[in-house]
Structure 1
Amino acid sequence: MSRALGQDARGTLASIGSSVAFGGIYFLTPLLSPAPAESIWAVRNIITIPIIALALVMARQWHLFGDVARLMRRKPWVILGVLVCGAIIAAQLWVFAWAPLNGQGLQVALGYFLLPLVLVLVGRFAFKDKLAWWQWAAAAVAAAGVAFEIVRVGEISWETLLVAIGYPIYFTLRRVIGTGHLGGMLWEFIVLIPLAVVLLVFELSSGTALAVNPALAWSVPVYSACAAGALVLYIMASRLLTMSVFGLLSYLEPALLMIAALLIGERIIDLEWGIYLAVWVAVFTILGGGISQMVRARRPR
């Protein structure tokens, strides 16, 4: 029992630490101006590789990296799957830096709020997961908010869709090709090294951003290392916690991203509140249902 409680405590701290780190990184991203998001992504991609490798070694899971290599040799089509997964995660990391640099931080935060709800629906219809009534209710409320926004402005922002739709495609594809672990993620970063190097060479040859803000020479690598560390904490939490607890704690990150976006000067205006209120109602419905379910599961019978 004490060992299980210790594991829960470590997992909870790792999850909270990850969310706080991502929120802090999001808030500080504008300090990296005028560095383009493409260059920030390139540095982050390269620096994340040794940190993921170290995490695999420390967790005694380095064999997962070799497992993916053998899988790709045995089934060459898996290489294409890894490339597609790499492109999707690269787009997510890119927009995470691009949004706060360009005044679209709230749109990305909204995507992270919608993401768990989309995953619930993907699990139900793609993998035949069973849903509780409160999960259906939350999804319906969120869908109503999205419908309201479409009627109001005719569309949902591409930044929101990239996060809310892109990640479910990413997770589903990783499950299908058998690379849904840290070893698979390491390969996804490795296959994009050539693109990252080209972008860095292009940026360094122009020298424009560094000339305006010389601190970028150290601030971008530190930013990237902190982001990689937050990612490792996130993966650690997913291994230590039950799926229900991990899912509930995952809502802390978009809440902090939203606060960070507001602190750096973005504003929710006029009828935009409609979709945000709907999503918050959905979030609290999920939280309430999940907590209630956990309490009932722990009651002695």
Structure 2
Amino acid sequence: MPTSTVAKQELQGYLLMFGSIIIFSLLPYYLQFLAPVDGNILFSFRVLSQLAFGGIFLAMAGKIYALKASFIQPRELLILCFTAPLVGLQWWVFFWGPVNGETINIAMGYFLLPITISLTGRFYFKEKLTPLLWLAVGAALIGVSVQLFKNHTFSWVTLLVCLGYPPYFILRRKSKISTTSNFVAENILLTPLALLLVYIGVIEQRPLLPALNWGIVLLLGSGLLGTIAMLFFVSAASRLTLTVFGMLNYGEPILMMLVAIFLLNESISHNQLWSYGFFGIAVLLVIADSLLRIMINRNNTFTSIP
């Protein structure tokens, strides 16, 4: 693949990643407008609305029939049977957590996620780490060590986030189905669970719509935002090395933590500040490495022109 094509693909990956970071970081605040709907119902509506919007996107792209390949090819269907529950757990905790005061623990999970993804890229996919990325991983590991030393453990929410995504992306890279088709197929497999949770909510007489006016519009909006953010997220993963993609994930928990503190009034302990400080250093090192890579690719492109 020509250098210019690789550089263009990498730039697209950065832009898609930044888009997903901004949307995902603001979603916990958006969910507060959906009260008193609980996390299970929010997850269910997310799956159902993502299925609808994903189907619309496929239809607009003229690829609705490509969805069939996900279910008629045994290998692809087997991969889906593993990726759907893996990503479904992430969607559930992302919508359940903010309405149950777990935004800080979700943010901590996303602080650890770049380490687990980057190490997966290094040792599973044999990707090479630049010196700056090694320093970034080192800074992040120090942050993790501080957290473990102070608290001796992590929340189960934190562990679910940081350990659940690496196997998902390993499996997704083995699939030959397009990102959007895979996304819609995963939602199709999760739909029975979503409908079951809605049914349980009806039986238990839980609120199904937000108290604010136009509640159904707000619910659909959460699904649309989740669809766009997830498509951006997975598309970025296919355009960047898993190491770089993993380290760029630090942008999300930093913004999410700020949302939790300043918009959701959740508290952060003094001990956690030390960890976040080292995570912040890791982010700066990743940004520096990314800018350096872009400059090198640009110089190589110019020098290759006769």
Short-chain TM bin? 0.7 to 0.9
Stretch deviating more after TM superposition (117-126 or 168-177): 168-177
Partner of 2:45: 43
Distance 2:253 2:140 in 1: 15
Spell out the pairing of 1:67-82 with structure 2 (5 A cutoff): 67-72=69-74, 75=75, 79-82=77-80
Partner of 2:220: 221
Q: Does 1:258 align with 2:257?
A: yes
Q: Are 1:171 and 1:180, in contact at CA under 8 Å, matched by a contact in 2?
A: no
Code of the aligned partner of 2:230: L
Q: Does 1:114 align with 2:139?
A: no
Partner of 2:147: 149
Partner of 2:229: 230
Deviation at 1:15, TM superposition (A): 4.5
User: Residue 63 and residue 291 in structure 1: after superposition, are their counterparts in 2 closer, same or farther (change >3 A)?
Assistant: farther
Stretch deviating more after TM superposition (21-30 or 3-12): 3-12
User: Residue 70 and residue 269 in structure 1: after superposition, are their counterparts in 2 closer, same or farther (change >3 A)?
Assistant: same
Deviation at 1:91, TM superposition (A): 1.0
Stretch deviating more after TM superposition (56-65 or 26-35): 56-65
Partner of 2:164: 166
Distance 1:212 1:69 in 2: 35
* Runs of at least 5 residues in structure 2 that lack an aligned partner in the other structure: none
| SS state at 1:208 partner | coil
* Runs of at least 5 residues in structure 1 that lack an aligned partner in the other structure: none
User: Residue 298 and residue 156 in structure 1: after superposition, are their counterparts in 2 closer, same or farther (change >3 A)?
Assistant: same
- How many residues matched? 295
| SS state at 1:192 partner | helix
Q: Please, what TM-score do these two structures have when normalized by structure 2?
A: 0.82
Q: Please, what TM-score do these two structures have when normalized by structure 1?
A: 0.84
Code of the aligned partner of 1:254: P
Deviation at 1:61, TM superposition (A): 4.3
Partner of 2:59: 57
Q: Percent identity?
A: 28
Deviation at 1:11, TM superposition (A): 6.8
Q: Are 2:7 and 2:294, in contact at CA under 8 Å, matched by a contact in 1?
A: no
Deviation at 1:200, TM superposition (A): 0.8
Distance 1:10 1:134 in 2: 22
Give RMSD over aligned pairs.
3.2
User: Residue 109 and residue 13 in structure 1: after superposition, are their counterparts in 2 closer, same or farther (change >3 A)?
Assistant: same
Stretch deviating more after TM superposition (255-264 or 222-231): 222-231
Code of the aligned partner of 2:149: V
Partner of 2:296: 296
Deviation at 1:19, TM superposition (A): 3.0
Q: Are 2:110 and 2:249, in contact at CA under 8 Å, matched by a contact in 1?
A: no
Distance 2:230 2:172 in 1: 17
Partner of 2:31: 29
Deviation at 1:278, TM superposition (A): 1.5
1:236-256 per-residue CA deviation (whole Å, 9 max, x = no partner) reads 6667x6659877765443332
Q: Does 1:186 align with 2:180?
A: no
Code of the aligned partner of 1:110: M
Code of the aligned partner of 1:29: L
